[in-house]
Amino acid sequence: MAVKEDVQENIREPLMPIENILDREDGGAGDQANNKKVNPCMVYFSTLIAVCGSYAFGSCAGYSSPTQSAIREDIALSLAEYSVFGSILTFGAMIGAITSGPIADYIGRKGAMRVSSVFCVAGWLAIYFAEVHIFLSSINIFLLATGYGMGVFSYVVPVFIAEIAPKNLRGALTTANQVRIIPCAILFLGLFFIPESPRWLAKTGKEKEFEAALQKLRGKDADITHEAAEIQDYIETLERLPKAGMLDLFQRRYLRSVTIGVGLMVFQQFGGINGICFYTSTIFESAGFSSSVGTIIYAILQVVVTGLNTIVIDRAGRKPLLLVSATGLVLGCLLVGVSFFLKDHELGLESVPALAVTGILLYIAAFSAGMGAVPWVVMSEIFPINIKGVGGSLATLVNWFGAWLVSYTFNFLMTWSSYGTFILYAAINALGILFMIIVVPETKGRTLEQIQAAINA
Protein backbone atom coordinates (compact mmCIF):
# COMPACT_ATOMS: atom_id res chain seq x y z
CA MET A 1 0.00 0.00 0.00
CA ALA A 2 2.84 2.33 0.90
CA VAL A 3 4.55 1.59 -2.41
CA LYS A 4 1.38 2.50 -4.31
CA GLU A 5 1.11 5.78 -2.43
CA ASP A 6 4.78 6.56 -3.18
CA VAL A 7 4.23 5.95 -6.89
CA GLN A 8 1.11 8.10 -6.95
CA GLU A 9 3.00 10.87 -5.18
CA ASN A 10 5.86 10.60 -7.68
CA ILE A 11 3.42 10.95 -10.57
CA ARG A 12 2.82 14.53 -9.51
CA GLU A 13 6.55 15.24 -9.73
CA PRO A 14 8.68 15.58 -12.89
CA LEU A 15 9.88 12.24 -14.25
CA MET A 16 13.46 13.27 -13.61
CA PRO A 17 14.83 15.98 -11.31
CA ILE A 18 14.70 19.17 -13.36
CA GLU A 19 18.00 20.45 -12.05
CA ASN A 20 19.73 17.32 -13.35
CA ILE A 21 18.40 17.85 -16.86
CA LEU A 22 17.84 21.51 -17.53
CA ASP A 23 21.31 22.51 -16.30
CA ARG A 24 22.66 21.00 -19.52
CA GLU A 25 20.37 22.87 -21.92
CA ASP A 26 22.86 25.63 -22.64
CA GLY A 27 25.49 23.25 -23.93
CA GLY A 28 27.39 22.51 -20.75
CA ALA A 29 30.60 20.55 -20.51
CA GLY A 30 28.74 17.26 -20.51
CA ASP A 31 27.07 18.00 -23.82
CA GLN A 32 30.25 19.35 -25.35
CA ALA A 33 32.15 16.23 -24.40
CA ASN A 34 29.35 14.04 -25.66
CA ASN A 35 29.28 15.76 -29.04
CA LYS A 36 32.98 15.14 -29.76
CA LYS A 37 33.74 12.70 -32.56
CA VAL A 38 30.06 12.07 -33.22
CA ASN A 39 29.55 10.50 -36.65
CA PRO A 40 26.05 11.22 -37.97
CA CYS A 41 26.39 9.01 -41.08
CA MET A 42 24.39 6.13 -39.60
CA VAL A 43 21.71 8.57 -38.42
CA TYR A 44 21.40 9.98 -41.94
CA PHE A 45 21.35 6.51 -43.47
CA SER A 46 18.72 5.28 -41.00
CA THR A 47 16.60 8.36 -41.71
CA LEU A 48 16.90 7.82 -45.46
CA ILE A 49 15.67 4.24 -45.08
CA ALA A 50 12.80 5.25 -42.80
CA VAL A 51 11.45 8.02 -45.03
CA CYS A 52 11.34 5.76 -48.10
CA GLY A 53 8.00 4.52 -46.84
CA SER A 54 6.56 8.01 -46.77
CA TYR A 55 7.11 8.33 -50.51
CA ALA A 56 4.23 5.91 -51.05
CA PHE A 57 1.78 8.43 -49.62
CA GLY A 58 2.55 10.93 -52.37
CA SER A 59 2.00 8.29 -55.02
CA CYS A 60 -1.26 7.24 -53.36
CA ALA A 61 -2.50 10.83 -53.10
CA GLY A 62 -1.86 11.14 -56.81
CA TYR A 63 -5.05 9.18 -57.35
CA SER A 64 -6.90 12.05 -55.72
CA SER A 65 -5.22 15.11 -57.15
CA PRO A 66 -3.43 15.67 -60.50
CA THR A 67 -4.72 12.46 -62.09
CA GLN A 68 -8.29 12.63 -60.84
CA SER A 69 -9.78 13.91 -64.12
CA ALA A 70 -8.23 11.08 -66.16
CA ILE A 71 -9.32 8.43 -63.67
CA ARG A 72 -12.88 9.75 -63.54
CA GLU A 73 -13.10 9.71 -67.33
CA ASP A 74 -11.62 6.22 -67.65
CA ILE A 75 -14.04 4.59 -65.22
CA ALA A 76 -16.99 7.00 -65.58
CA LEU A 77 -17.19 8.20 -61.97
CA SER A 78 -18.97 11.27 -60.71
CA LEU A 79 -17.10 13.63 -58.37
CA ALA A 80 -19.15 12.35 -55.42
CA GLU A 81 -18.33 8.72 -56.29
CA TYR A 82 -14.69 9.63 -56.71
CA SER A 83 -14.68 11.10 -53.19
CA VAL A 84 -15.08 7.57 -51.87
CA PHE A 85 -11.48 6.87 -52.90
CA GLY A 86 -10.20 9.42 -50.40
CA SER A 87 -12.51 8.00 -47.73
CA ILE A 88 -11.14 4.47 -48.23
CA LEU A 89 -7.55 5.73 -48.03
CA THR A 90 -8.14 7.64 -44.82
CA PHE A 91 -10.21 4.82 -43.30
CA GLY A 92 -7.26 2.49 -43.76
CA ALA A 93 -4.98 5.14 -42.28
CA MET A 94 -7.21 5.50 -39.22
CA ILE A 95 -6.99 1.75 -38.60
CA GLY A 96 -3.23 2.04 -38.97
CA ALA A 97 -3.15 4.97 -36.55
CA ILE A 98 -5.07 3.04 -33.88
CA THR A 99 -2.70 0.08 -34.06
CA SER A 100 0.56 1.93 -34.72
CA GLY A 101 1.51 2.75 -31.13
CA PRO A 102 0.89 -0.71 -29.64
CA ILE A 103 2.62 -2.39 -32.59
CA ALA A 104 5.67 -0.11 -32.31
CA ASP A 105 5.87 -0.67 -28.55
CA TYR A 106 5.50 -4.44 -28.82
CA ILE A 107 7.71 -5.35 -31.80
CA GLY A 108 9.83 -2.20 -31.97
CA ARG A 109 10.07 0.72 -34.38
CA LYS A 110 11.77 -1.35 -37.07
CA GLY A 111 9.22 -4.13 -36.72
CA ALA A 112 6.34 -1.69 -37.14
CA MET A 113 7.95 -0.23 -40.27
CA ARG A 114 8.35 -3.74 -41.69
CA VAL A 115 4.64 -4.40 -41.17
CA SER A 116 3.80 -1.09 -42.86
CA SER A 117 6.04 -1.76 -45.84
CA VAL A 118 4.42 -5.16 -46.40
CA PHE A 119 0.97 -3.56 -46.51
CA CYS A 120 2.16 -0.85 -48.91
CA VAL A 121 3.85 -3.34 -51.23
CA ALA A 122 0.73 -5.53 -51.20
CA GLY A 123 -1.42 -2.50 -51.99
CA TRP A 124 0.67 -1.47 -54.99
CA LEU A 125 0.78 -5.04 -56.29
CA ALA A 126 -3.01 -5.21 -56.05
CA ILE A 127 -3.39 -2.31 -58.48
CA TYR A 128 -0.42 -3.25 -60.69
CA PHE A 129 -1.75 -6.72 -61.51
CA ALA A 130 -5.40 -5.68 -61.72
CA GLU A 131 -7.54 -6.69 -64.65
CA VAL A 132 -9.68 -3.98 -66.28
CA HIS A 133 -12.99 -5.53 -65.22
CA ILE A 134 -12.02 -5.54 -61.54
CA PHE A 135 -10.31 -2.15 -61.56
CA LEU A 136 -12.58 -0.57 -58.95
CA SER A 137 -12.24 -3.48 -56.56
CA SER A 138 -8.48 -3.57 -56.93
CA ILE A 139 -8.06 0.15 -56.41
CA ASN A 140 -10.16 -0.06 -53.25
CA ILE A 141 -7.89 -2.83 -51.94
CA PHE A 142 -4.87 -0.76 -52.91
CA LEU A 143 -6.14 2.32 -51.11
CA LEU A 144 -7.14 0.41 -47.98
CA ALA A 145 -3.83 -1.44 -47.70
CA THR A 146 -1.71 1.58 -48.55
CA GLY A 147 -3.79 3.75 -46.22
CA TYR A 148 -3.12 1.32 -43.38
CA GLY A 149 0.59 1.41 -44.11
CA MET A 150 0.57 5.20 -44.18
CA GLY A 151 -1.32 5.35 -40.89
CA VAL A 152 1.40 3.31 -39.21
CA PHE A 153 4.22 5.12 -41.01
CA SER A 154 2.91 8.54 -40.01
CA TYR A 155 3.41 7.65 -36.34
CA VAL A 156 6.43 5.35 -36.42
CA VAL A 157 8.72 7.29 -38.79
CA PRO A 158 8.86 10.61 -36.86
CA VAL A 159 9.07 8.77 -33.53
CA PHE A 160 11.91 6.56 -34.81
CA ILE A 161 13.82 9.54 -36.18
CA ALA A 162 13.31 11.56 -33.00
CA GLU A 163 14.63 8.69 -30.90
CA ILE A 164 17.75 7.98 -32.97
CA ALA A 165 18.85 11.53 -33.84
CA PRO A 166 20.93 13.88 -31.69
CA LYS A 167 18.95 16.91 -30.52
CA ASN A 168 20.71 19.26 -33.00
CA LEU A 169 19.62 17.13 -35.99
CA ARG A 170 16.23 15.85 -34.82
CA GLY A 171 14.06 18.59 -36.35
CA ALA A 172 15.71 18.61 -39.75
CA LEU A 173 15.65 14.83 -40.13
CA THR A 174 12.03 14.50 -39.03
CA THR A 175 11.03 17.23 -41.48
CA ALA A 176 12.59 15.16 -44.29
CA ASN A 177 9.72 12.73 -43.74
CA GLN A 178 7.55 15.04 -45.88
CA VAL A 179 9.42 14.30 -49.01
CA ARG A 180 5.52 3.15 -55.50
CA ILE A 181 6.53 -0.12 -54.53
CA ILE A 182 10.29 0.46 -55.04
CA PRO A 183 10.70 2.85 -52.05
CA CYS A 184 8.69 0.46 -49.87
CA ALA A 185 10.90 -2.43 -50.94
CA ILE A 186 14.02 -0.34 -50.20
CA LEU A 187 12.59 0.36 -46.76
CA PHE A 188 11.92 -3.31 -46.06
CA LEU A 189 15.43 -4.37 -47.08
CA GLY A 190 17.13 -1.35 -45.54
CA LEU A 191 15.68 -2.10 -42.11
CA PHE A 192 18.06 -5.07 -41.89
CA PHE A 193 21.05 -2.68 -41.98
CA ILE A 194 20.03 0.03 -39.51
CA PRO A 195 19.84 -0.16 -35.70
CA GLU A 196 16.69 -0.26 -33.63
CA SER A 197 15.68 2.78 -31.55
CA PRO A 198 18.02 2.86 -28.52
CA ARG A 199 15.27 4.23 -26.28
CA TRP A 200 12.93 1.37 -27.18
CA LEU A 201 15.72 -1.14 -26.51
CA ALA A 202 16.40 0.47 -23.13
CA LYS A 203 12.69 0.44 -22.31
CA THR A 204 12.45 -3.29 -23.06
CA GLY A 205 15.50 -4.13 -20.94
CA LYS A 206 17.88 -5.03 -23.79
CA GLU A 207 20.91 -3.25 -22.32
CA LYS A 208 23.62 -4.69 -24.57
CA GLU A 209 21.59 -4.03 -27.70
CA PHE A 210 20.78 -0.54 -26.38
CA GLU A 211 24.45 0.41 -25.96
CA ALA A 212 25.41 -1.16 -29.29
CA ALA A 213 22.65 0.68 -31.17
CA LEU A 214 23.50 4.02 -29.56
CA GLN A 215 27.21 3.55 -30.28
CA LYS A 216 26.43 2.64 -33.91
CA LEU A 217 24.29 5.75 -34.33
CA ARG A 218 26.77 8.15 -32.74
CA GLY A 219 29.92 6.64 -34.26
CA LYS A 220 32.47 4.15 -32.96
CA ASP A 221 34.70 6.91 -31.51
CA ALA A 222 31.88 8.87 -29.84
CA ASP A 223 31.58 8.99 -26.07
CA ILE A 224 28.02 7.81 -25.37
CA THR A 225 28.39 7.54 -21.61
CA HIS A 226 26.53 10.75 -20.78
CA GLU A 227 23.66 10.18 -23.21
CA ALA A 228 23.29 6.51 -22.28
CA ALA A 229 23.17 7.35 -18.57
CA GLU A 230 20.55 10.05 -19.13
CA ILE A 231 18.35 7.68 -21.14
CA GLN A 232 18.74 4.89 -18.59
CA ASP A 233 17.89 7.21 -15.68
CA TYR A 234 14.78 8.34 -17.47
CA ILE A 235 13.71 4.79 -18.31
CA GLU A 236 14.25 3.62 -14.74
CA THR A 237 12.08 6.46 -13.46
CA LEU A 238 9.34 5.52 -15.92
CA GLU A 239 9.47 1.88 -14.86
CA ARG A 240 8.16 2.90 -11.43
CA LEU A 241 4.99 4.25 -13.02
CA PRO A 242 2.03 2.00 -13.85
CA LYS A 243 1.65 0.94 -17.48
CA ALA A 244 -0.37 3.60 -19.29
CA GLY A 245 -3.57 2.92 -21.21
CA MET A 246 -5.69 5.20 -23.37
CA LEU A 247 -7.70 6.51 -20.40
CA ASP A 248 -4.48 7.35 -18.55
CA LEU A 249 -3.71 9.99 -21.18
CA PHE A 250 -6.28 12.23 -19.55
CA GLN A 251 -4.59 12.26 -16.17
CA ARG A 252 -3.42 15.68 -15.07
CA ARG A 253 0.21 14.61 -15.42
CA TYR A 254 -0.11 13.92 -19.16
CA LEU A 255 -2.84 16.37 -20.05
CA ARG A 256 -0.55 19.09 -21.39
CA SER A 257 1.35 16.67 -23.64
CA VAL A 258 -1.92 15.26 -24.99
CA THR A 259 -3.37 18.74 -25.53
CA ILE A 260 -0.29 19.83 -27.49
CA GLY A 261 -0.01 16.66 -29.58
CA VAL A 262 -3.70 16.32 -30.41
CA GLY A 263 -4.29 20.07 -30.77
CA LEU A 264 -1.58 20.48 -33.39
CA MET A 265 -3.00 17.57 -35.39
CA VAL A 266 -6.49 19.11 -35.24
CA PHE A 267 -5.31 22.44 -36.61
CA GLN A 268 -3.01 20.80 -39.17
CA GLN A 269 -5.90 18.90 -40.75
CA PHE A 270 -8.98 21.02 -40.14
CA GLY A 271 -7.23 23.99 -41.73
CA GLY A 272 -8.16 22.36 -45.04
CA ILE A 273 -4.94 20.78 -46.28
CA ASN A 274 -6.37 17.46 -47.50
CA GLY A 275 -9.33 19.04 -49.25
CA ILE A 276 -7.01 21.45 -51.04
CA CYS A 277 -4.33 18.78 -51.71
CA PHE A 278 -6.75 16.16 -53.06
CA TYR A 279 -8.71 18.61 -55.25
CA THR A 280 -6.03 21.07 -56.35
CA SER A 281 -6.74 20.54 -60.03
CA THR A 282 -10.49 21.09 -59.49
CA ILE A 283 -9.81 24.34 -57.62
CA PHE A 284 -7.60 25.62 -60.44
CA GLU A 285 -10.20 24.67 -63.03
CA SER A 286 -12.97 26.38 -61.06
CA ALA A 287 -10.90 29.55 -60.92
CA GLY A 288 -10.24 29.47 -64.66
CA PHE A 289 -6.56 28.46 -64.49
CA SER A 290 -4.82 25.53 -66.18
CA SER A 291 -4.96 22.59 -63.77
CA SER A 292 -1.90 20.88 -65.29
CA VAL A 293 0.31 23.97 -65.02
CA GLY A 294 -1.03 24.76 -61.56
CA THR A 295 -0.36 21.30 -60.12
CA ILE A 296 3.17 21.24 -61.54
CA ILE A 297 3.99 24.59 -59.92
CA TYR A 298 2.28 23.39 -56.74
CA ALA A 299 4.45 20.24 -56.55
CA ILE A 300 7.72 22.04 -57.31
CA LEU A 301 7.02 24.71 -54.70
CA GLN A 302 6.19 22.09 -52.09
CA VAL A 303 9.47 20.25 -52.64
CA VAL A 304 11.57 23.43 -52.59
CA VAL A 305 10.00 24.87 -49.44
CA THR A 306 10.16 21.56 -47.59
CA GLY A 307 13.82 21.24 -48.53
CA LEU A 308 14.56 24.72 -47.18
CA ASN A 309 12.62 23.90 -44.04
CA THR A 310 14.97 21.05 -43.17
CA ILE A 311 17.77 23.63 -42.99
CA VAL A 312 16.07 26.18 -40.75
CA ILE A 313 13.89 24.11 -38.40
CA ASP A 314 16.66 23.53 -35.84
CA ARG A 315 17.80 27.15 -36.14
CA ALA A 316 14.54 29.08 -36.17
CA GLY A 317 12.77 26.75 -33.75
CA ARG A 318 9.47 24.88 -33.87
CA LYS A 319 7.16 27.56 -32.52
CA PRO A 320 8.25 30.44 -34.82
CA LEU A 321 7.88 28.19 -37.86
CA LEU A 322 4.41 27.13 -36.74
CA LEU A 323 3.30 30.74 -36.27
CA VAL A 324 4.72 31.91 -39.61
CA SER A 325 3.20 28.89 -41.34
CA ALA A 326 -0.26 29.35 -39.83
CA THR A 327 -0.22 33.05 -40.75
CA GLY A 328 0.56 32.11 -44.35
CA LEU A 329 -2.31 29.60 -44.31
CA VAL A 330 -4.75 32.30 -43.18
CA LEU A 331 -3.60 34.69 -45.93
CA GLY A 332 -3.65 31.97 -48.58
CA CYS A 333 -7.21 30.94 -47.69
CA LEU A 334 -8.36 34.55 -47.70
CA LEU A 335 -6.89 35.14 -51.17
CA VAL A 336 -8.63 32.06 -52.60
CA GLY A 337 -11.84 33.01 -50.81
CA VAL A 338 -11.72 36.50 -52.29
CA SER A 339 -11.11 35.09 -55.77
CA PHE A 340 -14.21 32.86 -55.58
CA PHE A 341 -16.24 35.71 -54.08
CA LEU A 342 -15.34 37.91 -57.05
CA LYS A 343 -16.18 35.10 -59.45
CA ASP A 344 -19.57 34.38 -57.83
CA HIS A 345 -20.51 38.07 -57.94
CA GLU A 346 -18.93 38.66 -61.37
CA LEU A 347 -16.57 41.34 -60.08
CA GLY A 348 -13.05 41.79 -61.43
CA LEU A 349 -13.17 38.50 -63.28
CA GLU A 350 -9.80 39.10 -64.89
CA SER A 351 -8.11 38.97 -61.47
CA VAL A 352 -9.82 35.75 -60.29
CA PRO A 353 -7.27 33.22 -61.70
CA ALA A 354 -4.29 35.20 -60.41
CA LEU A 355 -5.77 35.52 -56.91
CA ALA A 356 -6.69 31.83 -56.78
CA VAL A 357 -3.28 30.62 -57.95
CA THR A 358 -1.44 33.03 -55.64
CA GLY A 359 -3.58 31.94 -52.72
CA ILE A 360 -3.12 28.22 -53.35
CA LEU A 361 0.63 28.55 -53.84
CA LEU A 362 0.96 30.70 -50.73
CA TYR A 363 -1.09 28.13 -48.82
CA ILE A 364 1.02 25.15 -49.87
CA ALA A 365 4.28 27.06 -49.34
CA ALA A 366 3.17 28.08 -45.85
CA PHE A 367 1.99 24.54 -45.02
CA SER A 368 5.27 23.02 -46.21
CA ALA A 369 7.22 25.58 -44.19
CA GLY A 370 5.76 24.56 -40.85
CA MET A 371 2.35 22.98 -40.40
CA GLY A 372 3.18 20.03 -42.64
CA ALA A 373 6.12 18.68 -40.65
CA VAL A 374 6.50 20.51 -37.34
CA PRO A 375 3.39 19.00 -35.65
CA TRP A 376 4.92 15.57 -36.28
CA VAL A 377 8.26 16.74 -34.89
CA VAL A 378 6.61 18.10 -31.75
CA MET A 379 4.37 15.02 -31.38
CA SER A 380 7.44 12.77 -31.45
CA GLU A 381 9.08 14.90 -28.73
CA ILE A 382 6.43 15.74 -26.15
CA PHE A 383 5.07 12.36 -25.06
CA PRO A 384 6.91 10.53 -22.25
CA ILE A 385 8.11 7.15 -23.46
CA ASN A 386 5.70 5.24 -21.18
CA ILE A 387 2.70 6.80 -22.98
CA LYS A 388 4.35 7.44 -26.35
CA GLY A 389 2.60 4.45 -27.90
CA VAL A 390 -0.96 5.27 -26.85
CA GLY A 391 -0.38 9.04 -27.02
CA GLY A 392 1.12 8.88 -30.48
CA SER A 393 -1.66 6.57 -31.66
CA LEU A 394 -4.30 9.00 -30.41
CA ALA A 395 -2.64 11.99 -32.10
CA THR A 396 -2.20 10.05 -35.35
CA LEU A 397 -5.81 8.83 -35.23
CA VAL A 398 -7.05 12.41 -34.78
CA ASN A 399 -4.86 13.48 -37.68
CA TRP A 400 -6.22 10.87 -40.06
CA PHE A 401 -9.80 11.34 -38.88
CA GLY A 402 -9.39 15.03 -39.69
CA ALA A 403 -7.91 14.10 -43.07
CA TRP A 404 -10.91 11.90 -43.82
CA LEU A 405 -13.49 14.44 -42.65
CA VAL A 406 -11.93 17.35 -44.57
CA SER A 407 -11.43 15.38 -47.79
CA TYR A 408 -14.95 13.91 -47.58
CA THR A 409 -16.71 17.22 -46.88
CA PHE A 410 -14.67 19.43 -49.20
CA ASN A 411 -16.88 18.94 -52.27
CA PHE A 412 -20.04 19.46 -50.24
CA LEU A 413 -18.65 22.68 -48.75
CA MET A 414 -17.61 23.93 -52.19
CA THR A 415 -21.14 23.25 -53.45
CA TRP A 416 -22.55 25.19 -50.50
CA SER A 417 -20.21 28.18 -50.95
CA SER A 418 -16.84 28.17 -52.67
CA TYR A 419 -15.60 31.35 -50.99
CA GLY A 420 -17.28 30.43 -47.69
CA THR A 421 -15.25 27.20 -47.60
CA PHE A 422 -11.96 29.07 -47.66
CA ILE A 423 -13.14 31.70 -45.18
CA LEU A 424 -14.00 28.82 -42.83
CA TYR A 425 -10.52 27.32 -43.25
CA ALA A 426 -8.98 30.76 -42.66
CA ALA A 427 -10.89 31.09 -39.38
CA ILE A 428 -9.72 27.65 -38.20
CA ASN A 429 -6.11 28.52 -39.01
CA ALA A 430 -6.48 31.80 -37.12
CA LEU A 431 -7.65 29.84 -34.06
CA GLY A 432 -4.59 27.65 -34.55
CA ILE A 433 -2.34 30.69 -34.19
CA LEU A 434 -3.88 31.47 -30.80
CA PHE A 435 -3.44 27.84 -29.73
CA MET A 436 0.24 27.86 -30.67
CA ILE A 437 0.91 31.14 -28.87
CA ILE A 438 -0.78 30.03 -25.65
CA VAL A 439 -0.17 26.28 -25.42
CA VAL A 440 2.73 25.04 -27.60
CA PRO A 441 6.24 25.17 -26.04
CA GLU A 442 9.55 25.52 -27.86
CA THR A 443 11.44 22.21 -28.00
CA LYS A 444 14.40 23.23 -30.18
CA GLY A 445 17.81 22.14 -28.94
CA ARG A 446 16.58 19.96 -26.08
CA THR A 447 16.90 16.24 -25.57
CA LEU A 448 13.66 14.29 -25.19
CA GLU A 449 14.37 13.96 -21.47
CA GLN A 450 14.88 17.73 -21.09
CA ILE A 451 11.59 18.39 -22.88
CA GLN A 452 9.73 16.11 -20.49
CA ALA A 453 11.28 17.80 -17.46
CA ALA A 454 10.22 21.23 -18.78
CA ILE A 455 6.66 20.14 -19.59
CA ASN A 456 6.22 18.62 -16.14
CA ALA A 457 7.83 21.55 -14.33
Which tens digits make up the pLDDT trace of 133-190?
Answer: 445 556 677 777 877 887 787 777 777 766 666 655 544 444 444 435 567 777 788 8
Q: How far is CA 42 from the centre of its chain?
A: 22
Q: How far is CA 105 from the centre of its chain?
A: 18
Taking the whole predicted model, whether its pTM rises above 0.75 is answered as no
CB atoms within 10 A of CB 119: 23
CB atoms within 10 A of CB 25: 15
Output the pLDDT for position 457. Answer: 58
Dist CA 362 CA 333 (whole Å):
9
Output the pLDDT for position 322. Answer: 93
Output the pLDDT for position 424. Answer: 96
H helices present in 385-417, as ranges: 388-416
Dist CA 313 CA 224 (whole Å):
25
In the predicted model, residues of the chain with pLDDT beneath 70 are 1-40, 53-86, 126-139, 161-182, 241-244, 309-310, 313-314, 448-449, 456-457
Output the pLDDT for position 25. Answer: 44
Output the pLDDT for position 75. Answer: 55
Output the pLDDT for position 162. Answer: 66
Output the pLDDT for position 334. Answer: 96
Dist CA 209 CA 224 (whole Å):
14
Output the pLDDT for position 115. Answer: 85
Output the pLDDT for position 383. Answer: 84
Output the pLDDT for position 145. Answer: 80
Q: With CA atoms as reference, report the closest residue to 280 among 290, 271, 269, 270.
A: 290
Dist CA 294 CA 316 (whole Å):
30
Output the pLDDT for position 48. Answer: 75
Residues 6 or more apart in contact with residue 3 via CB below 8 angstroms: none
Dist CA 182 CA 272 (whole Å):
30
Output the pLDDT for position 423. Answer: 96
Q: With CA atoms as reference, report the closest residue to 122 among 178, 31, 188.
A: 188
Q: With CA atoms as reference, report the closest residue to 109 among 380, 398, 401, 306.
A: 380
